[in-house]
Amino acid sequence: MQAVKIRVDSVSKVFGSDPKAALARVEAGMDKTRLLEETDHVLGLHDINLEIRTGETFVIMGLSGSGKSTLIRHFNRLIEPTGGRILFDGEDILGYDEARLRTFRRRKMAMVFQRFALLPHRTVIENVMYGPLLDGMAKAAVRARAEAQIALVGLSGFEASYPAQLSGGMQQRVGLARALATDAEVLLMDEAFSALDPLIRNDMQMQLKDLQGRLGKTIVFITHDLDEALLLGDHIAILKDGTLRQVGTGADILRAPADDYVARFVRDVNRARILQCGALADATMIPLPGTPEIAAEATLEAAFAVFADGADCVAVRGSDGRITGALTPRKLMEALARS
């Protein structure tokens, strides 16, 4: 099992003049609406517990006001919690002094912003070099690293261009290259693609998946888009009104929504493109020799063609090469049926 990179331990955040006293009221049972009406304090987060593992893409999603952007800003202490702890590799970062926190932000975490946040008076390569140069790296080494990251995101040849000369998608690639150039262990991506046109957004999603496959970074990705969350996330956390409603894989959440709110969120998702055959294989069924086969990681959509040819079951083969069970049309239809 992958090691835990970030642990969020009972984190709460209240905005106002006396957040500790306001949090005590919340813990005594006061809801967010009453807290605002009676104390003029805003409950941003309440009792959030999460584990984000090394090398995974962890998506935090929710509608506007759910607390997702507030939460991600706790990970590098741009926002300080009212209660709880943030552990990075098992160490509580709330104990860092200013100098150590500055080093932590420069070397351990990099942020990719929704609105690109590029320096308009600097070229592409100067933007990408900016962070490592601030950190004191030699200019020649920084330039070589920056050129490598620019190539990685597909922008070779644009090193001397200025942000205003680039499309929105290209500017976001510069932002991604700039974050990668810091060689940080964790990328924080707050609604990084939401300002892009749909086609460009899809291109960036595919590029991020490709980069993650090659680099294996720990990525925390914020979105309000469930399809984007399901496409990118190894695990997904769903927030509502500052509280955590469910955490799990996309398939877990689709199969077993934790409550009515989550169920409404996922009801219109095309499950056939998300759920995998291996998760639905019946291990008690032993397929006969010659039974059609399908990979455990294949989606249910891929099984349609096999059943359309008249098969009454499909043998599911795992990544280790062994048959893990069988998938039947009935099991497939039950998985796709909406509750």
One digit per residue, pLDDT tens: the chain, 339 residues?
679 999 999 999 999 999 999 999 999 999 999 999 999 999 999 999 999 999 999 999 998 889 999 999 999 999 999 999 999 999 999 999 999 999 899 889 988 877 667 888 999 999 999 888 887 888 899 899 999 989 988 889 999 999 999 988 888 889 888 888 888 899 999 888 887 788 888 888 888 888 888 888 999 999 988 888 988 999 999 999 999 999 999 888 988 899 999 988 888 787 787 888 888 888 888 888 888 889 988 888 888 888 888 888 899 998 888 898 899 888 888 887 754
Distance of CA 79 to the CA centre of its chain: 19
pTM for this one?
0.83
Tell which CATH architecture fits domain 273-336. Roll (3.10)
Residue ranges of the chain assigned to CATH 3.40.50.300: 54-85+96-108+184-269
Structural class in CATH, domain 54-85+96-108+184-269: alpha beta
φ and ψ at residue 9, rounded to 5 degrees: -115, 100
Residue ranges of the chain assigned to CATH 3.10.580.10: 273-336
Query: How many angstroms separate the CA atoms of 201 and 199, rounded?
Result: 5
